[in-house]
Each structure stands twice: as C-alpha cells, then as structure tokens.
Structure 1
Amino acid sequence: MNSTFSDNNQVEVVSSFPELINTKFKGTVNAICWNRNLNGDFKEIVSQLQLKENITDISVDDLLALELSEKGILAREIILNDLQLLTNFGASPSLNLLKSYERDEDFDFISTDVYSFHVDRSPIGTDTFLCTYYGAASDIIPNNQVTQKILVPEIREKLKQSYEGSEDGFENFLKENFFDLHYEAKSDAIPTNLGIGNLWRLAVDYPQQKVLPCVHRAPVEKGEVRLLLIC
C-alpha cells in the first residue's frame, strides 16, 4: 500500500474494484484509490499505437490488433479488463493516447484548461474514474489547500472588467464560462500525484453531492505521450 495515499485524509485506499465503486465518500474523503502494482509492458502498447491527433481515442479493436510480446499481452489484458469492469458498472470509459490537451489562452490572468486545478461538474449524480497506464499522472489536492480563483480579489476584478452584462448577471457569467470550477493552490499546498496503474474514483460537483468535489489537474507533458483511461 502506498503510504502517501493511506496517510492522506483526502484519500481512501481500497484493494478491489467492488470496494472502489461501493466505498462512500465521506467527510474530507473525496478520492478513492484502488492501489495497484500492474505487471505488463504498457510502453510496448504505446509504442505500437498511432497518435493521430493530440488526443487519440483508442478502441478495443485497436488494442486487439496489436502484435505484442507476452508482457505486452498482459498489459493489454489489464486494460481490457478495466474497460469491461467500468462498462459493466454502467460507466462509459475512454482510452486515450494523449500528447497534450488544448490550452486556454483567452485570458492571461486566469486559466480554465485541465492543467489548472479544477473540479468536474455534472447535472446528475456521477463520479470521475481515471487511470494512467503510461506517462505522467494527474494530481489531486485537498480542498482546504486551494482558493477558488473567482474569489482571488485581483482575478475577480479583472473578470468584472471583462464582463459586459448587468451586475445581476455576473455570477451566471462566471458559472457559464466555468471560471467557478478553477482553483489556485495556496503557498503551503501539497498536491498528491495519482501515480501509474492506480484506478481512481473522484467526487464530482452535482446537486445532491454530500462531499466537496475533488480538485485535480492534468500534468504538463514533457514530450512524452500518456495512455489514460477516463470516464
């Protein structure tokens, strides 16, 4: 068990998929980790897949078409099993070969892309699942170690200057443009890296949610592609 996760009061560590989906978020816990040490050669899979654009969706047929070594076959079986587990659960997982996400360059004083600490929002009850098989992994951070960007005075003032509607509509403007989903880490904040091979379930912001949504961010790629399962 990874002590970084087990000592973190934001994270509940489990040892099976049934535990992952059935463990309830509670208190400060808004991230559940199926902690795994995966065998198999995921690099071999990545080396044979074709990156067609910055984010390429990899199908089951794409995986099955690969000519792999014994360790590559083991890695493929792990991915296929994860996809099947999540599909059986009722989720819609995607496997992405990823070079980079689109950057937000609309404003120089606030970023709203996935490299910024943010939460996911949904109109209905749902969770975010993700697993990095290869490449850099995402970070999460406790909610008490971040400040909502729209509450940072200088950012809020600049957003008001950019807003052209009535005063009553300003809060709706922030929400419609997803500014309210993004956070700034405090100076003493300690993010937790999600690691390779672990399957995570993160709390999402939705109307009946009983815990604070999990604040997370994508890693900045350093020339290396990622193989990521997400839903």
Structure 2
Amino acid sequence: MKLDFDHLKQIKNVLSFQELVDTKFSGKNNALCWQRPLEGDFEEIVNLLELKEDITVISEADLLHLNLSEQGLLAREIILNDIKLLREYGASPTVNLLKCYERDEEFDYISTDVYSFHVDRSPIATDTFLCTYFGASSDIIANEEVTQKIQIPEVIEKLKALHDPQDGDFESFLEDNFFDLHYQPNAEAKPINLEIGHLYRLAVDHPEQKVPPCVHRAPEENGRLRLLLIC
C-alpha cells in the first residue's frame, strides 16, 4: 500500500535506496521514506529465530542457517540486501529480534527510555536508518507538535532540585543524563506511524545538521516480537 504523506511536509518519499541516501533534508523535512512492497513471510523468520535476550542481535549467519519456505526466502533476501546496501554506503546496520527495551521508571515526570518521544544525537554527521520487518513499528511526530521536556516549568524545577552543583553545571547535567533529548507531545499532536517494510532515514542532532532532528519513539510491543533493522 502506498503511503500518503502529502499532508505532512516532515516526510518525503523516495523511490530508491540511492535517492534515500542522496536526498538532503530541508525545511520541515527531517524524515525520508523509501517505499517498497513487503514481499515474503517475515513472521516465518521471527518464529524460527531464537530470542536469547530481550534484544537479540541477529547475524547474517543466523539468517542464512534458517530452513525457509519460498516466502521466507523472499523475506530473508530483503533483509540481507538492506544490510548490504547500508554497509556499502558506510553505515553499520544491526538486525534485532526484540521483545522489549529497558524501561526508565526512575522519575514519573521525565523518562529517558526509547518509548518516550526523543531525538538522536551524534558528535559527527550521521543519520538514523530504520526498518521494521515484523511487529509494531515506530512513530515520529512533527517538531512543531512537541515541547522539549526541559522547557516545561514543573519538569525543570524538579530537575533543578535533583541537580548537585558539585557535579558540574546544570546544562551539562541535562545533557549527560539525556534529559534534553526528550519531548512531550502537545494536546493536538498527531504522531505518524512508520509502517512496516519501508526503509526510513531520520535526521539526527549533530553540528552540521541543517534541519531540526526527527522526534520519534519506539512502539509498545504488546507481547509481540519485533524484527527490525537499525543503524
């Protein structure tokens, strides 16, 4: 199914992997989507893989050792080709079989886990690539529809009370604990789900970035495994 992102300038559709990596972000556009049909049986692959930890890294050897049906073979070829394309581009893709991420439940007023809307940060120019092959998929949200949590008065007051000046200045405290990376959706916000099968490129916060970084979050798994590629 072809996705309709015409109403959302944040996302731009592309027609190939080369266009995905060559297209520059601009204006409100901080997410690119390479749309392609999801061919094959990815659930078969998930059912044959062994979940050793809540997040289990799946190697190419793990995939190649699977005894698959014709539909399973089609699915595996898509995953292996995505890995190949990203490596040739210079990225370091990882395929994960995922039960759940670790939760941050230390403070009820701010969470720093990936289920919270957040941005990625890097000291070097890079982007986040993401594809969910099976299970729940991530959400993104327009930057104008969120408020940085450290800009919320009641949150910042609680963080100031938590900060010990002997440990350094307050701004460094916020950055070192990743509090500044997390966002609260506004009342009228409409998150956009990144549907399965498509390969996305999301803008990251780094010194050379020309657009606001893409605000995103991991989905609730609801007891269902996820198979995803990320780098």
Would you say same fold, with TM above 0.5? yes
- Give secondary structure in 2 for the equivalent of 1:13: strand
Shift of 1:36: 1.7
2:3 aligned residue = 2
Structure 2 unaligned regions, length at least 5: none
Structure 1 unaligned regions, length at least 5: none
2:90 aligned residue = 90
Number of residue pairs aligned between Structure 1 and Structure 2: 230
Shift of 1:45: 0.2
2:73 aligned residue = 73
Report the residue type matching 2:133 in the other structure: Y
Report the residue type matching 1:146 in the other structure: V
Whole-angstrom CA distance in 2 between matches of 1:154 and 1:68:
54
Whole-angstrom CA distance in 2 between matches of 1:168 and 1:100:
34
**Cα RMSD over matched residues?**
1.1
Whole-angstrom CA distance in 2 between matches of 1:37 and 1:182:
33
Kept in 2: contact 1:6–1:13 (CA 8 A):
no
1:43 aligned residue = 43
2:129 aligned residue = 129
C-alpha offsets along residues 77-115 of structure 1, whole Å, 9 cap, x if unaligned?
A: 000000000000000000000000000122121100000
C-alpha offsets along residues 58-83 of structure 1, whole Å, 9 cap, x if unaligned?
A: 00000000000000000000000000
Report the residue type matching 2:3 in the other structure: N
- Give secondary structure in 1 for the equivalent of 2:45: helix
| Structural mapping, 1:1-231, within 5 Å | 1-3=2-4, 5-165=5-165, 169-231=169-231
Whole-angstrom CA distance in 2 between matches of 1:94 and 1:78:
14
Report the residue type matching 2:224 in the other structure: E
Whole-angstrom CA distance in 2 between matches of 1:133 and 1:204:
22
Whole-angstrom CA distance in 2 between matches of 1:81 and 1:217:
26
Report the residue type matching 2:42 in the other structure: F
TM-score (norm 1): 0.98
Whole-angstrom CA distance in 2 between matches of 1:64 and 1:14:
29
Kept in 2: contact 1:27–1:211 (CA 8 A):
yes
Shift of 1:37: 1.7
Whole-angstrom CA distance in 2 between matches of 1:24 and 1:164:
41
Report the residue type matching 1:127 in the other structure: D
Structure 2 vs 1, CA of residues 144 and 62 (structure 1 numbering), >3 Å: closer, same or farther?
Answer: same
- Give secondary structure in 2 for the equivalent of 1:118: coil
Whole-angstrom CA distance in 2 between matches of 1:168 and 1:118:
24
Report the residue type matching 1:82 in the other structure: D
Shift of 1:6: 3.4
* Mean Cα deviation higher: 6-15 or 86-95: 6-15
* Mean Cα deviation higher: 105-114 or 123-132: 105-114
**Aligned sequence identity (%):** 64
- Give secondary structure in 2 for the equivalent of 1:117: coil
TM-score (norm 2): 0.98
Runs of 4+ in 1 over 2 A off after TM superposition: none
